[in-house]
């Protein structure tokens, strides 16, 4: 995922610094590592943030551009909004990933995406099984999280009206009480940071609202480790704010798909490689 971005010597130098700061060989992990290595959430999380920030550094965004991220992507969004420096965002992503991986090892948990079905019926089925709605993604998708045996039961007998419940290849029940030890560690790391107020509108996964304070934004980023991701609420706020175009930073594709289904008529672009930068710039200029 990083190979095309690291062709820029300046980007390669930045990533080398981030590798030293995190103790991870990010350049190797983002170019030649195999799938088994990078699917470890301790590696995946910082790589996602690094990839997004390398692309953001090549864009000139208007001050009015609304910024939002999904799960660990919210760390990149906070950096784009100016709450955290890119260096701080990558370091915190590495702590978050490492500690969430450790929490996953404590007991067998997992996640499953429930596709379709009436929201109230899906939520009732999750409550019946003792599962949490860890991601409410809109577009008819709710991701359940909890004990592995209950996740398997959900997959075998999905909620009435749902098309299916697909078990996800993740390490554990993210955004639930099972991540409490990781939240404590992330809070300790965050205490060493000096957030500033957002320079542009920043939405929170907590409820989709616009965050005004840097300290509030950092507190919400910490709490997000054990709280559900309300991407559905973030998209609702994008609509209320009159957003007419969305650019998803790399690794891109999933969020613009959700936006297309929930926010009809909004232009979208999945920025995946440097080859997409010209299209992103043209889209920004069109709506600036």
For residue 277, name the pLDDT band (cuts at 50, 70, 90): very high
Q: Phi and psi of 184, rounded to 5°?
A: -60, -45
CA 195 vs CA 46, 78, 97, 188, 211: distances in Å: 19, 9, 20, 14, 13
**Does domain 5-104+176-287 fall into CATH 3.40.50.720?**
no
Spans of all domains in the chain: 5-104+176-287
User: Is 233 known to be catalytic?
Assistant: no
Taking Cα atoms as reference points, which of 235, 220, 244, 213 lies closest to residue 82?
213
Which one of 19, 70, 175, 206 is the catalytic residue? 175
| DSSP type of residue 159 | P
- Residue 139, pLDDT score: 85
Count of beta carbons in the 10 Å neighbourhood of residue 104: 22
Residue 70 appears among annotated catalytic residues: no
pLDDT tens-digit series, residues 152-187: 999 999 999 999 999 999 999 999 999 999 999 999
pLDDT at 288 over 80: no
Report the distance separating Cα 96 and Cα 170, nearest Å.
Answer: 15
pLDDT in tens, 17-49: 999 999 999 999 999 999 989 999 999 999 999
> For residues 211 and 190, what is the distance between their CA atoms, to the nearest angstrom?
17
pTM above 0.85, yes or no: yes
Options 19, 71, 206, 233, the catalytic residue: 71
Question: Cα torsion at 99, 100, 105, 109 (round to 10°)?
Answer: 160
pLDDT at 190: 98
Q: H or E element: which one contains 154?
A: helix 148-156
């Amino acid at each position: 995922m990083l190979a095309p971005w690291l062709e820029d010597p300046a980007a390669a130098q930045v990533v080398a610094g981030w590798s030293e700061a995190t103790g991870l060989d990010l350049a190797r992990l983002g170019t030649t590592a195999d799938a088994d290595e990078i699917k470890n959430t301790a590696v995946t999380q910082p790589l996602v943030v690094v990839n997004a920030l390398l692309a953001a550094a090549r864009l000139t965004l208007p001050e009015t551009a609304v910024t939002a991220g999904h799960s660990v992507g919210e760390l990149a969004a906070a950096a784009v909004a100016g709450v955290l420096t890119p260096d701080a965002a990558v370091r915190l992503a590495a702590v978050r990933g490492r500690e969430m991986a450790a929490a996953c090892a404590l007991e067998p948990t997992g996640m499953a995406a429930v596709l379709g079905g009436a929201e109230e019926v899906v939520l009732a089925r999750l409550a019946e099984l003792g599962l949490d709605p860890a991601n409410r993604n809109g577009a008819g998708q709710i991701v359940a999280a909890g004990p592995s045996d209950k996740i398997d039961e959900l997959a075998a007998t999905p909620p009435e009206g749902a098309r299916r419940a697909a078990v996800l290849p993740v390490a554990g029940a993210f955004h639930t009480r099972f991540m409490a030890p990781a939240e404590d560690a992330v809070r300790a790391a965050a205490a060493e940071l000096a957030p500033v107020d957002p320079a542009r509108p920043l939405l929170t996964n907590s409820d989709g609202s616009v965050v005004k304070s840097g300290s509030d934004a950092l507190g919400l980023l910490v709490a997000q480790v054990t709280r559900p991701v309300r991407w559905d609420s973030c998209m609702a706020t994008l609509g209320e704010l009159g957003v007419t175009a969305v650019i998803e930073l790399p690794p891109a594709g999933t969020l613009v798909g959700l936006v297309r289904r929930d926010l009809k008529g909004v232009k979208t672009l999945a920025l995946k490689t440097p080859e997409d930068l010209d299209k992103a710039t043209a889209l920004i200029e069109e709506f600036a």
